[in-house]
Amino acid sequence: MTAGPRGVGAGVNPTAAPTVPETADVVVIGAGQAGLSAGYHLQRRGFVPAGAPPSGQHDATPTYLVLDAEDGPGGAWRHRWRSLRMSTVNGIYDLPGIEQPGVAPEAASVDVLPAYFGDYEAELGLAVVRPVRVRRVEEADGATGRPGDLLVRWASGDRSGAITARALVNATGTWSKPFWPAYPGQETVRGRQLHTADYVRAEDFAGARVAVVGGGISAVQLLEEVSHVARTFWFTRREPVWRDDFGPDEGSRAVAMVDQRVREGLPPQSVVSVTGLIRTPSLHAAAERGVLERRPMFTRIVPEGVVAADGQLLPVDVIFWNTGFRAALDHLRPLHLRAAGGGIRMDATQVAGEPRVHLVGYGPSASTVGANRAGREAVARIVRYLAAEDEPLPVPHDGTRAAARRRSRDVTAS
Ligand code: FAD
């Protein structure tokens, strides 16, 4: 099938239907920091865009494609609120190979980072196709692809199709999976409920009484912001851990802790959530205004507001859930990757025992620096895996070539 993937680089025309070829050696899902890092390293290793018109390369030249659900570049940065400035993000690591342009600290991350990602895709000619959402990844059978391959089913508007891949880099982030904890009475509330992912601007809360829930960085930043125009009440399950500074040792410890969790097949905690909260000058000022007086979590929601831990009714107009996100992995469900511990057992970026599937930007690599490294590591391991797969196999004595290939995979994984 012809392909010429549209969307290569930043010159994306969101009104034209994207073309997705039927096969690629490696499919990357998601074009945020993690997916672009994987794309960069695939190109460096000699992979070429799948379905691109022949350019004289040998037929065996390995191919890749990045499928991204967004209408344009930037990953989740396209959706962050305008008041999240380059000075108020935690620090964004450069994408591999091309530095971020110098920008004013006051510039909005929602402007700067999508533009940087777009220029990056264009300059490197990365094979990013969008908007294409992956719905399911399943095992190919004889009819849908070579046994042992993965079948990636996608949709784009009212079109849908499938692409087979020998290996997969999943880089779908968390933004599309906001976590809303369940509280009794939640459906009865008369006021508004929203999540961090829905936040646009503080002015939308002007004059309201707002219960802000959550103890992470976004929670305190948005609490501070909203407190300038609204009466706020801050609820967290635990006393937040405050720090005046944050050194590389704490960062490494947090990453190691999350890494250990996913190696054991437990759900990851976000790296950022285990490093504690830094007292920035604006948070110092907020503390002085009494905004950071934390209350224990409420027990119930009623039509007028929330019932506090001491049984008192606190009337509120808005409940603002800054309760984090979960890894967006529903499309991988057909592969049955979940371990008994509720997470996915990982061996660095690879799903343990499944050398075809890597998760980048997941668990210990859920930060911009982690995403960069994970992209590089996943590609290095996939290259080794594909090379081992392409070696002549011993004659299978108890089954098909696919069974022999599976055995060889098990050996690679162990
Ligand atoms: P994303 O940027 O979310 O990209 C995922 C991509 O996958 C998106 O384009 C999405 O549309 C696409 N996708 C999802 N599902 C599918 C599908 N089924 N099919 C096709 N495409 C799909 N980290 C830092 O290091 N420094 C910071 O300052 C910082 N600030 C942050 C501020 C906020 C408010 C938040 C929420 C997070 C912050 N982080 C920060 C964490 C950081 O954003 C991430 O670790 C990193 O940017 C995520 O990159 P990613 O590529 O994993 O995901």
| CATH code of the domain in which 300 resides | 3.50.50.60
With 80 as the cut, is the pLDDT of residue 359 above it? yes
| 1: Cβ contacts below 8 Å, ≥ 6 apart | 21, 22, 51
Residue 269 included in any domain: no
Indicate if 316 and 332 belong to the same structural domain: no
Report H helices in 168-319. Answer: 217-226, 248-263, 281-288
Atom of ligand 1 at shortest range from CA of 67 = 20
Query: Do 284 and 337 fall into the same domain?
Result: no
402 found inside a domain: yes
Are 22 and 164 contained in the same domain? yes
What value does the mean pLDDT take over residues 269-297? Answer: 87
Report helix, strand or coil for 236. Answer: strand
CA distance 107 to 119: 17
Strand ranges inside 16-56, DSSP E: 23-29, 48-49
Domain check: are 161 and 191 in the same one? no
The residue length of the chain stands at 414
C-alpha 141 – ligand 1 centre gap (Å) = 32
Question: What is the model's pLDDT at position 54?
Answer: 62
Tokens of 70: 């967004």
Domain limits at 213? 186-241+276-321
* Calpha distance 170→186 (Å, rounded): 33
Q: Which residue of 217, 326, 360, 368 sits with most ligand 1 atoms within 8 Å of its CB, as the best mutation to test the pocket?
A: 368
H or E element at residue 171 = none
Closest CA to 85 of 103, 111, 109: 109
What value does the mean pLDDT take over residues 164-168? 97
DSSP result, 44-81: HTT-EETTPPP-S--TT--EEEEE--SSSSSGGGGGS-
- Note whether residue 333 is domain-resident: yes
Q: How many domains does the chain have?
A: 2
User: Are both 229 and 92 inside the same structural domain?
Assistant: no
> Is residue 11 predicted with pLDDT exceeding 50?
no
Residue 36 Cα: closest atom of ligand 1: 51
pLDDT reported for residue 363: 94
What type of residue sits at position 161?
Answer: G
- For residue 250, the SS3 value is helix
CB 6 within 8 A of CB 121: no
Q: Are strands 63-67 and 23-29 parallel, antiparallel or unpaired?
A: parallel
Same domain, 296 and 371: no
Other beta carbons less than 10 A from residue 289's beta carbon: 11
* Pocket perturbation via mutation, ligand 1, pick of 68, 71, 116 by most ligand atoms within 8 A of CB: 68
> How far, in Å, from the CA of 174 to the mean position of ligand 1?
6
Predicted local confidence at residue 239, as pLDDT: 86
Instruction: Identify which has the larger pLDDT, 393 or 76.
Output: 76
Least confident of 81-90, 220-229, 299-308: 81-90
**With the CA atoms of 17, 22, 25 and 28 taken in that order, what torsion angle do they form, in degrees rounded to the nearest 10?**
30
402 falls in which pLDDT band (50, 70, 90)?
low
Asked if the model's pLDDT at residue 414 lies above 70, the reply is no
**pLDDT exceeds cutoff 60 at 139:** yes
pLDDT, position 53: 67
Q: Do residues 187 and 203 lie in contact, with contact meaning Cβ atoms separated by under 8 Å?
A: no
Say whether pLDDT at 63 is over 90. yes
402 lies in the same domain as 312: no
pTM of the model as a whole: 0.91
Q: Would you say residue 362 lies in a domain?
A: yes
Identify whether 388 is part of a domain.
Answer: yes
Out of 265, 293, 321, a domain closes at 321
The answer to whether residue 65 is domain-embedded is: yes
Q: Are residues 160 and 287 in the same domain?
A: no
Dig out the tokens for 240 from the structure.
Answer: 């937040």
Residue 412 is predicted with a pLDDT of 43
Residues 98 and 194 in one domain: no
Is 135's pLDDT higher than 60?
yes
Look at residues 306, 321, 336 and tell me which one is the last residue of a structural domain. Answer: 321
| Of 104, 102, 100, residue with least CA distance to 85 | 104
Does residue 15 lie in a domain region?
yes
Q: Does residue 246 form part of some domain?
A: no
Answer whether residue 306 shows pLDDT above 90: yes
Does residue 236 share a domain with residue 385? Answer: no
In angstroms, what is the span from residue 210 Cα to ligand 1's centroid? Answer: 27
Which residue, 291, 321, 351, sits at the end of a domain? Answer: 321
Average pLDDT, the chain: 89
Same domain, 166 and 18: yes
| Judgement on whether residues 110 and 218 belong to the same structural domain of the protein | no
pLDDT tens digits, one per residue of 338-347: 999 999 999 9
Ligand 1 site residues, Cβ closer than 6 angstroms:
29-35, 67-70, 75-76, 80, 89-92, 133-134, 171-173, 175-176, 218, 328, 331, 361, 366-368, 371
